[in-house]
Structure 1
């Protein structure tokens, strides 16, 4: 996964120190949360109980949980294979048995977590309307800007929120290129 922060590595070293049963229980908590991320408050409550049952400060368990969640989200974003995940976990200091358990549980839960992640991404800021206008700058304190083409866009989001932006024609073409890439990615997924 590339270079990692010392706190991230420390979190995985601390994860490796958990007994096998405690590790499995922790992993189950993480995977259940990734399968239903709307239940954040329940997840935090369960983590607090878990930390209490092991007599470990909640802040320590919270750091480990953040690191593992970040790791799994990175695995999703980069579409890592089980082999790549196992290699990264080994590089982070997780022993072979725990790496095997984690990758087995991940592969078992991957379909559900992947679907939840896709739904989450697709439901954020659903676009309901778009207005756009081209214009030409006729007056400006900078003489070099007079006669420049610009674009004003108004996005209406599902929640009723309106987002307005103005960009130069160069910025517009860059934006258009990114939108075409996004469309191609979505078509590939469907």
Structure 2
């Protein structure tokens, strides 16, 4: 049943895309492709919301769904390094409701911009690193430890929350002796000083 629900969701988005003239679809796709090429920081739905002025009545959720669908479609095509023909074939497999004019717009734009999107995705994949989003620490006393020479030695326990390049948040925890923590703190201060100069 989930496949039928997915198909229904795709068909609903395609129905809304069908309401757009080729010019409006081109404009929306260009905003998305420019973002995927790394030329803007995001897709501004307010810019795309000009549809209302062109007489196309779409509510905010429908517009967001169109943007998400096109982002996902172009990202997936970029990852797979699809040609314009392959992209159109996949879209037709996903829904039989696509009008020929819309598919021609998508084919033309992807043929023009697809290699640039693919290149940008390769660069992002090479530059992808995890991002520290939270760090918690607490001071404790060692009752038993492999690194502490004597019991009842103080230690620092660190819990790091990290966002992986995939977007998934993971946690890493470890313990340090007080001298190790002091060295860790010193290195963090040095990194912060270097980052301020960049």
Alignment partners' CA distance in 1, 2:103 and 2:67: 16
SS in 1 for 2:44: helix
CA gap 1:38/1:29 in 2 versus in 1, 3 angstroms: closer
CA gap 1:88/1:113 in 2 versus in 1, 3 angstroms: same
Report if aligned partners of 1:12, 1:67 keep a CA contact under 8 Å in 2.
no
Which structure: larger Rg? 2
Normalised by the length of structure 1, the TM-score is 0.56
The Cα RMSD (Å) is 3.2
- The answer to which of 51-60 and 65-74 deviates more is 51-60
Unaligned runs of 5+ in 1: 127-162, 166-190
Alignment partners' CA distance in 1, 2:37 and 2:16: 24
Query: Which residue matches 2:110?
Result: 106
**Count of residue pairs brought into register by the alignment:** 131
Report if aligned partners of 1:76, 1:114 keep a CA contact under 8 Å in 2.
yes
CA gap 1:115/1:79 in 2 versus in 1, 3 angstroms: closer
Runs of 4+ in 1 over 3 A off after TM superposition: 48-55
Query: Which residue matches 2:47?
Result: 46
Q: How does 1:149-188 map to 2 (within 5 A)?
A: none
Alignment partners' CA distance in 2, 1:9 and 1:73: 19
CA gap 1:52/1:61 in 2 versus in 1, 3 angstroms: farther
Q: For each residue in 1:116-161, what CA deviation from the matched residue of structure 2 results, as whole angstroms up to 9, or x when unmatched? A: 11121111117xxxxxxxxxxxxxxxxxxxxxxxxxxxxxxxxxxx
Q: Is residue 125 of structure 2 the alignment partner of residue 121 of structure 1?
A: yes
Query: Which residue matches 1:16?
Result: 18
Alignment partners' CA distance in 2, 1:119 and 1:10: 34
